A and B are shown apart, each in its own frame.
Chain A
């Protein structure tokens, strides 16, 4: 059986915890997954509201699991619950609503997030402070609902509206408009108006009142205070790291000229300075004529070798390079973490960062 079942009804499987599934309260929180045929508890409300929306549905099964059991055995629990749900070939899985119940929310989020990649659409609902929201908002459609059960009817209404769209094959491109939590990813779309008109309208709003909405909220910026100067460099190992894109000629790692997805680690052994023949810039964000003419301008090995003798430090024999042009901050942070681990492992005590 797939698609719509007999009587052309959509098949739904509902996931509930022990409380809403009628097994019992906290004393039953360790109960193992079990399945009952048909709907149970809030499931009846879902069926009623779907009927009111003229969407023929049948909750073919309700899977119930204790909150503590799932929280303490998540992998095992998913291993039991997912095949059980798949066995019913549902058109949609509804989990919860979980309100502000933390363990229940985490279970609903985990189940929905695991079902979506299997091609089974799944939706849930939680209160904004439920820990399941932050954990699963990027991978599951989570409808925002009240914190306590008195918000049941409202939550079910909203889930039914979303569920109807999902059942009818509509792609949910903008979850927020469907009453879901934002997934926290920036996604392009075509606005109805060109940007210059929106800018002027936004300015008039901002002049006129305190209520206006930015299209991009500026995030908290991570600023790093420089460390105190090292007085004596004698005996220290110093490394060079650059975002200026100086790579061996031919760019062996194919570091992109913009939005680099990687960095390279290259040897400096035996090099007194960089030559045009051996090194080049792969950077697309500045005119690299002068860097190609003399790569030491961006990665100053020539000066480092001179100073090495004069000040008695040791030049680390590997340098790291990436392209800092349109490169996302996430990527840059990832590169930095990996490079730092290697530098510490290799006994480097200080780093000179060059950029362009």
Chain B
């Protein structure tokens, strides 16, 4: 490809992103795209997934926006994509042996399916899997209600432990997304949206001197916190378990390729599914308006570990990496709540101590009445916070005609309670059961304020 060849010599890693919009989704005798309609060969997909000996059974369903359907308990949501970079596949290190420490992501092209996602459900692994309502009041809180879903309801073999159960469901989702992308996107597809994203160059990278930056614009960096408390609270970067990783720079548009994937059973409202990582709106906005409204100087990945010592280490190293980019300001996004509030405050205060301004994205757990303080930790430097809503606020979700998955678990899920089922069939649950509803990468419009 001429684009790849050109950029192999340039300092900036550049990605060309083509988006194929899917207007409908259906089963058919062959998997592929036809006139904007994505067709799935159900049996072929099932047999591919069942080649995993841990899987006993996979049920595949199709769900459309606006239908009277509740999907529960949702584990992950994934957007099918195809990398056109030779030797570099989507979900690097997960579906391939890619090692980010021996290889730098090359420049090149990626194609994605828009409007359709792969969604994994099945018997509950943790308490913190989520609900997607395709219509009704619950549909206002999550972008997933606007997507066509290919739902994989996965049953594992008897006797499989919880950790293998989680991994089996996680891998099935990636394999299904990869299968769809390879069959639907493997031919020239015209007439769709595309854009080019040019990444910042890190200090010490080859060709750094040659990279010019417009003067007079604010320098902005991004600190990307990943939930890594372990044991069903894990996130992977290029297949590396992020709790075992030290804070590091990341080529921002690596996210497009699924370099970060979710293995999380943390509270549904503020866990970042794989879809959220693939489409991280902070990364995309910072890249899109780079050199016009600001200079985007880089993205640092860090983790949210369990022990105090690990928190101190990661926050010190992350703040140091951020400071080396000499930014004027940093956006910090969090995943999960409670324990990670401490990581957030350490990151904030240590970066502010370098004289760098911070803005934090967080949701709130202010109690059902909104009367409690919202975070479990604080710092005077955390004076610029964007709230993605009070996850404890109760909403009533009326009964929907069809359940995809199993809704008996709702009373046990984080945000449910033994009394959440109302006589008319509605459920009165905390917002935290709706997947992505208080997403801290900032996808949604929900916020909280004092009344």
Contacts and interface: CB of A to CB of B under 8 A. Distances in A.
Interface string A192-231: 1111111110111011100010111111010000000000
B329 to A, nearest CB: 5
Given A188-B393, A326-B267, A194 B281 contact: yes
Interface in A1-57: none
Contacts of B368: 259, 328
- Chain B interface size, as a band, is 35 or more
Binding site of A, secondary structure by majority: helix, strand, loop or mixed? loop
Interface stretch (A58-66, A91-99, A169-177): A169-177
B359 A199 contact: yes
Contacts of B55: none
Contacts, number: 234
B413 interface: yes
A289 B447 contact: no
A174 B449 CA distance: 9
A287 B127 CA distance: 9
Interface in B384-429: 384-393, 412-418
Contact of A326 (B362, B371, B414): B414
B371 A200 contact: no
B357 A203 contact: yes
Nearest to B392: A259
A337 interface: no
A257 B163 contact: no
Contact of A200 (B231, B233, B285, B378): B285
A258 B267 contact: yes
In the complex, which of the residues B233, B282, B367, B446 has the most CB atoms of chain A within 10 Å of its own CB atom? B367
Interface stretch (A70-78, A107-115, A178-186): A178-186
A188 B328 contact: no
Contacts of B415: 258-259
Nearest to B284: A196
B338 A207 contact: no
Given A221-B378, A258-B415, A207 B218 contact: yes
A89 interface: no
A284 interface: yes
In the complex, which of the residues A174, A191, A203, A204 has the most CB atoms of chain B within 10 Å of its own CB atom? A203
Contacts of B230: 287
A219 B379 CA distance: 9
A325 B414 contact: yes
Contacts of B62: none
A197 B285 contact: yes
A325 B388 CA distance: 19
Given A183-B450, A184-B371, A326-B432, A195 B127 contact: no
Given A188-B390, A190-B445, A194-B443, 17 more contacts: A184-B371, A187-B390, A188-B431, A191-B446, A194-B445, A196-B361, A196-B443, A198-B447, A199-B359, A202-B386, A214-B383, A215-B385, A216-B362, A218-B382, A257-B414, A259-B367, A326-B267
Interface of A: 173-176, 182-200, 202-204, 206-208, 212, 214-219, 221, 254, 256-259, 261, 284-287, 289-290, 324-331
30 contacts: A173-B451, A174-B449, A182-B450, A182-B451, A184-B450, A185-B370, A187-B390, A190-B140, A190-B447, A192-B445, A195-B386, A197-B285, A198-B386, A199-B442, A202-B384, A203-B329, A206-B384, A214-B385, A215-B447, A215-B449, A216-B385, A254-B418, A284-B127, A286-B233, A287-B233, A327-B365, A328-B365, A328-B368, A329-B373, A330-B371
